[in-house]
Amino acid sequence: MRIGLLTGGGDCPGLNAAIRAIVKQGLGEYGHQIIGFRNGWKGVVDGDIQPLERQHIRNVLSMGGTLLSTARFHPREEDGSMDAVLQTLEAEKIEALICIGGDGTLHAASKVADAGVKIVAIPKTIDNDVAGTDLSIGFHTAVNIATEAIDRIHTTAESHNRVMVVEVMGRHAGWIAVNSGIAGGAEIVLAPEEPFDMDRVVKFLQHRHKAHANFSIVVVAEGAHARQGSSMEYEVQLGKYGEIVAGAIGERVAAEIQARTGFDTRLTVLGHVQRGGTPTPTDRILGSRFGVAAVDAITAGETNVMTALQGEDIVLVPLPEIAGRVKQVPDDLLRVARVLA
Amino acid sequence: MRIGLLTGGGDCPGLNAAIRAIVKQGLGEYGHQIIGFRNGWKGVVDGDIQPLERQHIRNVLSMGGTLLSTARFHPREEDGSMDAVLQTLEAEKIEALICIGGDGTLHAASKVADAGVKIVAIPKTIDNDVAGTDLSIGFHTAVNIATEAIDRIHTTAESHNRVMVVEVMGRHAGWIAVNSGIAGGAEIVLAPEEPFDMDRVVKFLQHRHKAHANFSIVVVAEGAHARQGSSMEYEVQLGKYGEIVAGAIGERVAAEIQARTGFDTRLTVLGHVQRGGTPTPTDRILGSRFGVAAVDAITAGETNVMTALQGEDIVLVPLPEIAGRVKQVPDDLLRVARVLA
Amino acid sequence: MRIGLLTGGGDCPGLNAAIRAIVKQGLGEYGHQIIGFRNGWKGVVDGDIQPLERQHIRNVLSMGGTLLSTARFHPREEDGSMDAVLQTLEAEKIEALICIGGDGTLHAASKVADAGVKIVAIPKTIDNDVAGTDLSIGFHTAVNIATEAIDRIHTTAESHNRVMVVEVMGRHAGWIAVNSGIAGGAEIVLAPEEPFDMDRVVKFLQHRHKAHANFSIVVVAEGAHARQGSSMEYEVQLGKYGEIVAGAIGERVAAEIQARTGFDTRLTVLGHVQRGGTPTPTDRILGSRFGVAAVDAITAGETNVMTALQGEDIVLVPLPEIAGRVKQVPDDLLRVARVLA
Amino acid sequence: MRIGLLTGGGDCPGLNAAIRAIVKQGLGEYGHQIIGFRNGWKGVVDGDIQPLERQHIRNVLSMGGTLLSTARFHPREEDGSMDAVLQTLEAEKIEALICIGGDGTLHAASKVADAGVKIVAIPKTIDNDVAGTDLSIGFHTAVNIATEAIDRIHTTAESHNRVMVVEVMGRHAGWIAVNSGIAGGAEIVLAPEEPFDMDRVVKFLQHRHKAHANFSIVVVAEGAHARQGSSMEYEVQLGKYGEIVAGAIGERVAAEIQARTGFDTRLTVLGHVQRGGTPTPTDRILGSRFGVAAVDAITAGETNVMTALQGEDIVLVPLPEIAGRVKQVPDDLLRVARVLA
């Protein structure tokens, strides 16, 4: 078979592990050809291909990013780019396509599958909000990086008697915030799942600093927002590409805490470091397992499905089933973050 | 309630996260008293207690080991130590006991529960072979450490055109070997689940070094053994405490490869570094969730159960159900290790 | 002897190693008493003491921050705080004082020494701009953290064809920027030592992106500034405590590059993570050696001196000699950063 | 100019940083050609060349090992290999040669220089025992790895009340042992510089475990040995290539401590992990600076010299001056390790 491969959306650690597994399993086990497209869907539209051989995947297992490059672009019917996708696939005699990406890429993949192309998708997003799978590629590394940063900030908070606010990624779901908050021992975690009340945040900090501590760590997901009608009004601020403005909620939260408590308060916005660098073993294994499973599925004739981790097993879930759903942090995990504060 | 707490068996990273969660949840949420026993079951026999307050758990979240110390000792009926356990628990007015440990500790916990003591257990073992749970405390950190070591050894293997053999822990199950082998890109993984044939190992290495590489990495679990009747005979070597002799299988495998292939072959035995140091965020979160769940379960009157991770959920499984069972690496994961070689 | 000890200015990794060494060497080798002051000079003014025993320094070697806490406060004659310092020292019968700190702390130390107090100082500053010593405590860890961040950002830059701007600390000297820039393989390093010309920065990036790459990394020290009369005007922006506003120069540089080149450009401000967390072995060793040397010097009757690393040796330099001097990055190191771009 | 380049002896982290700097500076600044030889001196004998262009050095800055491969082989007059070296250099029209290596490579380099070849050498050895330079490439990373391992082992030692013996590299000098011992807070460091007396080691441990602790960490350099006439006799054990047998001294020391004190004692032999993997920023910077300086020196007509770090400066030292000298750990650093125990 001649199998196309693309990575779409934001880059993250673990993508190369998946690409490597697809090439190894595709070439070695089945004798397929693997044709990479550069820059995600954009490369399909442009016909920008890179056939992948064993030499391309040497030493990439521990490298972050994606050797195929990526772009935040998705084909649409309105502007003819969807047609261009189908034309390229036909011109290049691509019999099936493996798409690695998040929300947008998976949505596009499902539409391309509807147009008759055999497609298997692999979920990646450091936000971890893709439905149907316990983990998406990139999330685990992001939690590690965020926790390491909180560990570092902890010592400064303690040495200087400060409130340290740390803003992490997570637009529709607070997976990074909640997990790194628990792992880093944060006092307060603000996640999109639970709109917060600044009065209660302030009361908690004042009580804590009076009772038994003189510093605190507050982790804020970029998509966190205040409860309507509560004492702090805040609307999520978007940039020109519709992305959340980094630092916006963090700055606001830090300013409010400083103003209302008088505690010396500082902000750190983790930003891009969360999505780069060497993947954790967990992300390498996840990418490797997803890659092998995707090639197996393609070879077995599956289509319009996504590889997923459920418990200890890799399974296939129908793409239409997960479309438009956001996997949020469950209540019991939010509660653990709260009770360990 | 007055709740006893002990950590038994070998130490590992993540135990302090569990202890911290138990103290925070026990004191903060329910107003219980938490009475630690030093040195595992030995401390219960000896009545060596340490009541735990908030000050004891400051800054321990990121620390490896166990602040309660531990010992490889389990109470038995034959020598009166089981009676001593029950006497101490009565003398100290312990109403329920939380036991954190592996195979041996869980087995003892179940027997103490049979004697009428309310018990909730938390699984920890870097071998990850406790049944009923996807993860036990300590395993995830061990995989990280082993992968980091393989990453390091990789560059020497490549620079010197060598076969590097790395022996990792895993007596009855090859979880560390298989996971670090996949994550580190090992060419061969030898695990207890699949008795190996040295002829095939040698043939694989010779083929690889002729075809497209001049180095290889072989990961060996300490409990790996040769297939009966195959060309290399080997019996697992035990030390005076019944533990596997570190380095024994590794030395044998390295010597055989060197002798049969003529390739320059070297051994690294990871040993104790696998079970020490700062826990990964995953182990901190797992310990924290287990700790909270254990206190909740105790308070709700549960007994003779173990906290377990199944998929994304923390559940309780009956201790008798998991007794005597070893969770081994499933075939599909062994296959991933094989096809990505 | 009864020796006072304080840590002043911003916290950083390696301070606890120095404190530990002072206590071990002071108590163990000479039988001195070590009296800690909390919160730097503020604690001396307030008489806020903590006598240090062996139990206070257990497990602190690998911990960031300072167990004595610190504050950005320096005694002055004008407001009576200098008198308060002398009164406390007399009241507490302090025979000599060890001061660990940066520029401000060292300056105050010298003035207190002039007032007749026996003083030995230990240099710490992540900026590494204290004269007379190759290294100050905290700098080495900061370079490691900054390099790790650049490594992570590198993969995103490459995967997304972006210019990534990274702002690091360094007000009067670009030690962190230059070292992490070389270690991280940055294309451009902007340091206070060499006022930059945005025209040349832009020309370099355009040439590079046309010739052989589609991404770049630009490291900016917070104290970097444009050359007078060049195409970009910029004045260093100060906050209410006189500190540089984090992100100010980084935002400006990123905006200019984006506007003038059209390349997709993003900013990361490392901020507080640079000064926290586990110290590198180098900072632990440096702190340990400085601590031992300070106690030796105090015991030998030295005063108004600072411990310093020169090559492989620990030496003493007179405090007045280094007062008011800023150690900047030498030309040959700036050149290495330039030629390796 | 047409400049040859080789890496000889054992591999270590930082070599690729030097190679990258040589290529960048050679091609970019001066327009030289850089001709790599594979496998150290062996490649020169065999005429195994690889011309190095910019594409060969992409992404290598953070990679361990050497992209040119290496071998433990040195040319000798006796077997004609020295003649073969000179013939290859002439046949390939090599005008000057940069040799990166340790003791053996530097010795050979000096002899080749005596034969009229222009040579500049760069020191690398994780043992750090090359004279004339504060640091050699690879040492700093090795200390980091060893310290990390000691940190991990520390928690097990404490949780299990054990004596943990850690054997690290260092044949003629104990740089790794002393530095990682200080950084890791070891109780005892045994280095070749100070032949030890097992009676005193035992007495120290017994005193410590009686007085205020129940665990200890002992770091042993592979080249450590007992004082003649003291209570433990031991001769350094050599393997077939004349290398020290890994684990030999460690096993002996652990066995003696166990036997004489009765304390539960365990050994970890760090082995190959010490010389692999991602270089620390310090080793990347050192390699980069040495690489730039070597090309500058070659271009300026220097020969028979070695680049060296002295304090903050890169200087050139004559190769004959350092021949046959071993740089050992100075007394004041040995004393720091002792007093902080």
- Two tokens at A227? 């409860």
Query: Is C47 annotated among the ligand-binding residues?
Result: no
For residue D227, pLDDT beyond 80: yes
Q: What is the mean pLDDT of chain B?
A: 95
Q: Are C157 and C264 in contact (CB under 8 A)?
A: no
Confidence of residue C21 (pLDDT cuts 50, 70, 90): very high
- Two tokens at A306? 């996504």
Confidence of residue A167 (pLDDT cuts 50, 70, 90): very high
Across the interface, do C332 and D314 touch by the CB < 8 Å criterion? yes
The fold of C2-138+279-322 is Rossmann fold (3.40.50)
- For A326-338, write each residue's pLDDT tens digit: 999 999 999 999 9
* Number of neighbours of residue D229 by Cβ within 10 angstroms: 8
How far apart CA B205 and CA B214 sit, in angstroms, is 9
Average the pLDDT over each of B184-188, B249-253, B301-305, C236-240 and give the range with the smallest value: C236-240
C227/A contact by beta carbon, under 8 A: no
CATH 3.40.50.460 boundaries in chain D: 141-276
For residue D339, pLDDT beyond 80: yes
Q: Of these residues, D46, D83, D127, D134, which one is catalytic? A: D127
Confidence of residue C50 (pLDDT cuts 50, 70, 90): very high
How far apart CA C144 and CA B9 sit, in angstroms, is 36
Mean per-residue pLDDT, A200-227:
94
Mean per-residue pLDDT, C185-213:
95
How far apart CA C117 and CA C94 sit, in angstroms, is 9
Confidence of residue C211 (pLDDT cuts 50, 70, 90): confident
Mean per-residue pLDDT, A54-83:
92
How far apart CA A182 and CA D3 sit, in angstroms, is 55
3-state secondary structure of D23: helix
- For B87-143, write each residue's pLDDT tens digit: 999 999 999 999 999 999 999 999 999 999 999 999 999 999 999 999 999 999 999
pLDDT at B240: 78
Mean per-residue pLDDT, C255-274:
95
C80/D contact by beta carbon, under 8 A: no
Residues whose CB falls within 8 Å of the CB of residue A298, separated by 6 or more in sequence, listed in order: A1, A3, A96, A98, A118, A120
Residue A335: exposed, middle, or buried by beta-carbon count in 10 A (0-12, 13-18, 19+)?
middle
Q: State in words which class domain B142-276 has.
A: alpha beta
Across the interface, do C276 and A155 touch by the CB < 8 Å criterion? yes
Active site residue D46: no
Nearest to D284 among C24, C140, C183 (CB): C183
Kindly report the nearest CA distance between residue A230 and chain C, in angstroms: 30
- For an interface test with D, give the residue of B159, B217, B269, B278 to mutate (most D CBs within 10 A): B159
How far apart CA D185 and CA D217 sit, in angstroms, is 8
How far apart CA A225 and CA A232 sit, in angstroms, is 9
Scan for tokens 């600093």, then name that residue: A209
Q: What is the mean pLDDT of chain C?
A: 95
Letter for the amino acid at A296?
D
Q: Are D63 and D16 in contact (CB under 8 A)?
A: yes
pLDDT at A161: 86
Across the interface, do B156 and D11 touch by the CB < 8 Å criterion? yes
Across the interface, do D66 and B159 touch by the CB < 8 Å criterion? yes
Q: Are C46 and C71 in contact (CB under 8 A)?
A: no
C78/D contact by beta carbon, under 8 A: no
The hierarchical CATH code for the domain A141-275 is 3.40.50.460
- For B220-275, write each residue's pLDDT tens digit: 999 999 999 898 888 788 887 788 889 999 999 999 999 999 999 999 999 999 99
B48/D contact by beta carbon, under 8 A: no
Mean per-residue pLDDT, D107-111:
95
CATH 3.40.50.460 boundaries in chain B: 142-276
Between D190 and A228, the higher pLDDT residue: D190
pLDDT at C233: 83
What is the full DSSP assignment across B302-337? --SEEEEEETTEEEEEEHHHHTT-B-PPPHHHHHHH
- For A110-159, write each residue's pLDDT tens digit: 999 999 999 999 999 999 999 999 999 999 999 999 999 999 999 888 88
Letter for the amino acid at C188?
I
D312/C contact by beta carbon, under 8 A: yes
Nearest to A65 among C11, C145, C158 (CB): C158
Report chain B residues whose CB lies below 8 A from the CB of A333: 289
Across the interface, do C276 and A151 touch by the CB < 8 Å criterion? yes
Q: Are C121 and C131 in contact (CB under 8 A)?
A: no
Across the interface, do D268 and B266 touch by the CB < 8 Å criterion? no
A151/B contact by beta carbon, under 8 A: yes
How far apart CA C239 and CA D174 sit, in angstroms, is 48
Return the bridge partners of A124, or none: A137
pLDDT at C241: 75
Mean per-residue pLDDT, D196-204:
96
Query: Is A290 annotated among the ligand-binding residues?
Result: no
- For an interface test with B, give the residue of A143, A179, A180, A288 to mutate (most B CBs within 10 A): A288
Across the interface, do C152 and A70 touch by the CB < 8 Å criterion? no
CATH 3.40.50.450 boundaries in chain A: 2-138+279-322
For residue A243, pLDDT beyond 90: no
* Number of neighbours of residue A77 by Cβ within 10 angstroms: 10
Query: Is C147 annotated among the ligand-binding residues?
Result: no
Kindly report the nearest CA distance between residue C212 and chain D, in angstroms: 10
C331/D contact by beta carbon, under 8 A: no
For residue B212, pLDDT beyond 80: no
Binding residues of B: 10, 72-73, 102-105, 125-127, 162, 169-171, 222, 266, 272-275
3-state secondary structure of C78: coil
Confidence of residue D252 (pLDDT cuts 50, 70, 90): very high
Find the closest chain A residue to B292 by CA distance.
A336
Q: How many CB pairs under 8 A join C and D?
A: 101
Residues whose CB falls within 8 Å of the CB of residue A242, separated by 6 or more in sequence, listed in order: none
Kindly report the nearest CA distance between residue B87 and chain D, in angstroms: 25
How far apart CA D99 and CA D113 sit, in angstroms, is 11
From the CA atom positions of chain D, what is the Rg in Å?
22
Asked: is C141-276 a CATH 3.40.50.300 domain? The reply is no
Kindly report the nearest CA distance between residue A191 and chain B, in angstroms: 17
Q: Of these residues, A46, A79, A114, A127, which one is catalytic? A: A127
How far apart CA A184 and CA C65 sit, in angstroms, is 16
Percent of chain A at pLDDT > 90 equals 88
3-state secondary structure of A49: strand
Confidence of residue D235 (pLDDT cuts 50, 70, 90): confident
- For an interface test with C, give the residue of D25, D180, D282, D333 to mutate (most C CBs within 10 A): D282
